[in-house]
């Protein structure tokens, strides 16, 4: 769906457990989409932020570029 808004360079799916109890912890899914231009990324954020996908609320925002390049996706 993101390719509607521009040229997608890379997609990274990151998951983490929220909380200490592994059996009952909520799973957080973060999807990082790298675009050819920042304008394409901004257009995607405007279109997807606040929508629901597969019953989950999408929170779309720009991510710190230094953290992304260092593969620190937990932030």
Per residue, the 3-state secondary structure of the chain, as one string, reads CHHHCCCEEEEEEEEEEECCCCCCCEEEEEEEEEECCHHHHHHHHHHHCCCEECCEECCCCCCCHHHHHCCCCCC
- Our measurement of the distance from residue 35's CA atom to the centroid of its chain's CA atoms, rounded to an integer in Å, reads 12
Give the domain ranges of the chain: 2-69
Average pLDDT, the chain: 91
- pLDDT at position 22 over 90: no
Q: What is the pLDDT of residues 1-18, one digit of tens each?
A: 899 999 999 999 999 887
CATH class of 2-69: alpha beta
Confidence category of residue 21, pLDDT binned at 50, 70, 90 = low
- pLDDT at position 55 over 70: yes
């Amino acid at each position: 769906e993101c390719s509607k808004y521009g040229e997608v360079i890379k997609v990274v799916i990151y998951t983490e457990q929220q909380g200490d109890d592994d059996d009952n912890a909520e799973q957080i899914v973060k999807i990082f989409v790298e675009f050819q231009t920042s304008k394409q990324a901004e257009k995607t954020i405007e279109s997807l932020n606040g929508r629901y996908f597969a019953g989950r609320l999408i929170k779309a925002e720009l991510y710190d570029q230094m953290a992304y390049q260092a593969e620190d996706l937990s932030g």
